[in-house]
Each structure stands twice: as structure tokens, then as C-alpha cells.
Amino acid sequence: MTLQPPATEKRPTTRIHHGDTVIDNYEWLRDKADPSVIEHLEAENAYTAEQTADQAALRDELFEEIRAHTKETDLSVPVREGEWWYFTRTVEGKQYGIHCRVPITSPDDWTPPSAAEPLPGEQVLLDANAEAEGHDFFSLGSLDVSADGSLLLWAVDVVGDERYTVRLRDLAGDRVLDDMIENTGGGALFDATGGYVFYTTVDDAWRPDTVWRHAVGTDAASDARVFSEPDERFWVDIDLSRSRRYLLVSLASKITSEVHALAASDPTGEFTVVWPRREGVEYSVEHAVIAGDDRFLIVHNENAVDFEVVDVAASDPRGPRRILAPHTPGTRVDSIDAFAGHLVLEYRRDTLARVAVARLTAAGVAPWQEIEFDDVLFSSGESRNPEWTQPRVRVGFGSFVTPSSVYDYDVTAGELLLLKQQDVPGYHQGNYVQRREWATASDGEVVPISLVYRDDLVRPGTAAPLVLYGYGSYEHSIDPVFATHRLGLLDRGVVFAVAHVRGGGERGRRWYDEGKMLHKRNTFTDFVASARHLIDTGWTDAAHLVAEGGSAGGLLMGAVANLAPEAFAGILAVVPFVDPLTSILDPSLPLTVVEWDEWGNPLESRQVYELMKGYSPYENVADHPYPQILAVTSLNDTRVLYVEPAKWVARLREFDAPVLLKTEVTAGHGGVSGRYEAWRERAFMMAWTLRCLGVAG
């Protein structure tokens, strides 16, 4: 075996900002057109394969366990839209889903058909396995059917760079149309008439910046530019209200929003602004009919830190407002959805995602009724509900110990009907326990930690092997959800824990604000405090603790590797954002400008520059012992470029850190495509984690 890792050539480049000169020896790795870059990544892959060769049997074992716990041939719960029930089949041995539909039996048919094989009148809309043939990578983006059910739209990425090609199919004639729209962003959809397709394209920085209108049956070269946003901080999106009465163009930076509306009856008309943008004000819009009046429901944070819901006249959106859900500090309102007979509110209270429903009456809106679930930790949310007139609300529920469950909530009766719970062969829920711990951060703040483990294999206070997961950015919350692959850890006596650090959204907007911009260090110190709490209270010890995070959570991993390397036996960093200062200093790089509202602008602010330089993992690699580190990245990732972990690993090697780099050549930000390949990738990371924890296969 080769005992020495690949040597990384030093090609110094100079960076000067705010009078600070930095010599970067590894920035040359950014140019993947340079053959030596690919050769270097291939050498790293070969070294990683060699160093983990003894884990091959364990990887195979873990893969087979994931497979054994999965019902490979299965059917999603059908969703009604128009005159059809839509669903997806998975088939044993096939990587991707098969998208199908069956006709409803009557206009009053709101009971999903059973999983008979095949269902009467079943029609295959799109077999993703056939679409993926001949491609090493395949990702299905948009999938939409016209309102009359006659046309199918689908979008495919076969590289991993999140640029999609849109195609159309005539479902009645079962033929693919000549229409082909290339290099689109996500979110293509039909308008209410089915005569047009609206879609977005991205600029050179991979930012969705333009909305286009395509007339079905025409050449894409003649498509009309509907809207273009010049401000590089804003992403653009297009949607159709559930009522199918409005097209909505949404513009959003990290801190400011603006929505433009157009009556769907006039798809070639001009969009008008609902509320003009105001710096720091975020809002979203939904259309409703309340007591016979057209209203816009607006979730906003104007003088409402955790957001409130108001409704305004659709004909005069800047006129008088009525409050439908008042601002309540600590209860973060996320969204509102409207139906012909009721409204659905999604929000977060006490770290947990919740759902409430309010009936619409002749007089207006009845009081909100929260859908209650009896569990210590859980995640609930509205599922697919495309029909304007549906009398039920489809709701998803799950927890660390409860497999993903799908319910219909009867709005009139106020009752939940379980439609399906994820079938997990060999799983016995009673063996597993979930609970909550609280760590005290360096500034006195208390940080929630969620844990799950097997009750018969773990005793609190006995220093069990433990994986601590963290993210802490973009107000994104890590909710307690079931994961089949996680059983491979739990069934070996490993505790899985999530540190809900600041920068996430678990405890409202304040929790997010205290972990971003000039307060970003709180994210890292919260995680270290969580790790030390778990050690001090006997859940684990430093020799049996592995930290895991991905993307912005990978930045967290790199930061804690420098802050508290002695607290961990291993660190797993997936597509890690570990060279943030270099990226945020270069506005020509993908997605940099839109990130300034999250991290600050180090080009303009010396304070931001010094802060980021002080926590950047790449900038702060030092001569001290590091735990085992595995960095996993993707060559075609457009969100966190492969060069960041590649440079980070090279710096770590200067101090003989025990680090491995694995680069997927045909993958994107979400990793490899296909469920079996994804399971193998997860098994690879789990096997490495178990070895770091000292747990035998």
C-alpha cells in the first residue's frame, strides 16, 4: 500500500484586500480545464480508495442493510389533480421512479386508489429509468401536466450542474413534441390555459434571473422574455396560484422580497408589483377567495420579526390590510396556502414544524385549528395539495423513530386519516428512543440537541459512540425525520444527535439572525458547546464522537476542526463550503453576490473581511493534531465548487492531518443520482464513520 498521500503542487497566487496580503498556494486547483487538476483529483480518489479498502466488506454490509430495510417495489400515495390521480412507482432493481396516473371515478372521488398492480386505467407518463439510459448522471427537475391533462412537461439535467432541458409530450397521442428548451433553471410550468410554458434561465453566476414564456408548438428561439432582474442579489421564480387565477413572479434576496402578479386569463399581459420592494422586508403572496372577494394573502416581516399573515384586496394590494395570523414572537410563520373552502398555515414553535387549518365561511375566516401530533420530537408539514376545491388537506408527518407518514386531514370533521406509513422491513419502532438535551453556549444561550438511539443498546452516561450533525445557516432547520440508512448506525449502538445551532431557523428569526453575518461565530461555538455538553453529561467521549455536516454545514465542520479538534474522533464534511472568504471576495464566481446578505460583503467591509478570515477553515489550518477527516465533493457542483475541499485538504496535508478527499466525477451538489448509487455513497460514508467511532461491522 502507498503510505504517502498525493503531494499537491504549490503555485503561489497573491490576494490583497484591505491592506492584507495573502499568498494562496492552491488556488490553481480551481481550473478544472487544467489536466493536472483532474490528475490530482484522480490521485486523491485512488489514495482514498486504498486507505478505505479494508472497509469494503462493511460498506457492502451497510448497503445491503439499507436495501433490506427498503420496500423497493412501492407506490406513493396518489394525489388528485383535475380528472386524474397522480403517483409514482418504484420497482426493485430500478434506480428511478416511474410517474403514472389513473382517472378519477367521479367528481366527488377524494379517496386515493389502493396500490393494486397495475391500477385500472393506469397510464405511464414518464419512466425516469428510460430517460436516464446512457447517462452517468440523471436528475429530473420540473414535472408538470397541463390543467386539462393533455400535455406533460418535464425537465432533465444529465450533468449535475442544475441546468435543465425541458421537453413536452402529447399524452393523448403519446408522442413527444418538437418543443425543446435548453439551459433552463428549475421550476418550469404550464400556465392555466396549457398553451404556454413559463420557465427561468440563469446568468453566468448561476443565478435564476429571467422569466420566459414559451408558446407550445413553437421554436424556443422565439420565446418571449417576460421579466429580468438586474440586481445580482435577487433570485427569480415563477409560479401559478392554486386557484389558477394568477401567475406570480417572485424575486428574493436573503433579506428582501418582491412579487409581481398577472391574471392567468391574460398570460401574455404585463405583470404588476404587489408590494414594491423595501430593503429588509420579506413577503410571499397567495391568492384566496374570502366571503366572495378576491384577496391576496401575504406572509411578511414588516414590523413582525417572526412574520405575520395579512390579506388585502387583490385589486388593491397596497390598500387596507386585515390580520389573519398575528405576529407572535418565537412562533415563526413560514407559509400560508389557500383553497376554496379553507386556509392552511405552516409555522414553527418550540423548534418543531406545525400545521394549522382555518375554514372559510360566508362571514370570513374561522379560528385556526392546529393539527396535533402526540410526540416529543416530530416534523409535520403540508404535503402535495394541488386541487383548489379539495375538501381534505394532505399532511406529512414523521420523527426520528416514526417512519414518514401521509395523512388526509378532513377539514369539516377535524380528523386525521392515515393513508400510508413508510414500510420499513425489519424495523421495530419500540426499540428506539428520541429525546431532547440542552447545551449552554459560551454566551449563556441554551442550544437544543435532539438525540435518537436504540434503548436496548445505549445507556445514558456510558459514553456511547455518537454522531453529532449540524448545519446552522440560511434559517434552515434540521427537523427530526426518519432515515432508513441511519438504522445502520443505531443498530450498532451509535447515538445520532443534531445540534440545532444558531444560524438555523429552529427557534425563530432571532435564532437565525444570531448566527449570520457578524454573528456567524455563534454557529461554531454553539456546536462545540453541544459536543462538550454530550461529553460532560456522559453521552459520549471525544474518542467516540464524530461530527458531520454538509454544504454550509461543511463550513461548520471545517471551523470546529480548527476550534476544537480535540473534541472529535472524526469529522465528515460533505460538499463543504470551507474556503468561504476566497469565494465571497470574487463576485464573478457562481452565487457569490447573492450570498453577501448571508455572510456580509468582505470586498466593501474590512470588519466582515477580518471576521471571515478569522473563521474560514482554509485560512485557519494550523499546526496542531487533527481528528480523522473525510471530505466528499462533486466535480460538477455549482453551489460549492470542488476546489474548496480540494484546497482545504491540501492545506491540512501540510501539517500531516489524517484527511481523505473523495470527488464524485458525475454528480452535483446533492451527490450521485439513482437510489442504489446514493445508498452506496451513504454506505461509504457510514463505514468510514463507524471505523472512526471504533465500532466493528
Query: Which one of 146, 551, 583, 616 is the catalytic residue?
Result: 551
Contacts (Cβ under 8 Å, ≥6 apart) of 552: 471, 472, 473, 474, 577
Measure Cα distances from 451 to 301, 458, 479, 551 in Å: 32, 12, 11, 22
The DSSP-derived string for 25-82 is: SSGGGG-TTSHHHHHHHHHHHHHHHHHTGGGHHHHHHHHHHHHHTS-SSEEPPPEEET
d(CA 689, CA 570): 7
The DSSP-derived string for 666-682 is: S-BTTB-SSHHHHHHHH
> How far apart, in Å, do the first and last CA atoms of the chain sit?
23
Q: Return phi, psi of residue 664, to 5°.
A: -80, 125
Where do we find the cell 460538499? 575
Are 469 and 497 spatial neighbours (Cβ–Cβ below 8 Å)?
yes
d(CA 578, CA 503): 17
Hey, what amino acid is at 568? F
Q: Return phi, psi of residue 596, to 5°.
A: -60, -30
Burial class (CB in 10 A: 0-12, 13-18, 19+), 292: exposed
Where do we find the cell 446552522? 472
Where do we find the cell 485560512? 619
Catalytic residue check, 24: no
Strand pairing category for 364-365 and 20-24:
unpaired
**Nearest alpha-carbon partner for 562 in 608, 629, 504:** 629
d(CA 371, CA 128): 35
Which three cell numbers, joined as nine digits, stand for 679? 445508498
Q: Is the dihedral of CA 349, 350, 353, 359 positive or negative?
A: negative
- Angle between helix 552-563 and helix 521-536 axes, rounded to 10 deg: 60
Provide the residue count of the chain.
Answer: 697
Burial class (CB in 10 A: 0-12, 13-18, 19+), 302: middle
Measure Cα distances from 622 to 221, 558, 562, 625, 626 in Å: 54, 12, 7, 9, 9
Measured from the Cβ of residue 315, the count of other Cβ atoms closer than 10 Å reads 10
Burial class (CB in 10 A: 0-12, 13-18, 19+), 627: buried
* DSSP secondary structure letter of residue 470: -
**Nearest alpha-carbon partner for 227 in 194, 256, 196, 250:** 250
Catalytic residue check, 243: no
CA atoms within 13 Å, Cβ hemisphere of 394: 19
Catalytic residue check, 637: yes
**Nearest alpha-carbon partner for 184 in 148, 144, 242, 134:** 144
d(CA 550, CA 667): 15
Query: Which one of 69, 300, 485, 669 is the catalytic residue?
Result: 669
Sheet order of strands, 196-202 included: 189-190, 196-202, 208-215, 224-228
Residues classed as catalytic: 551, 637, 669
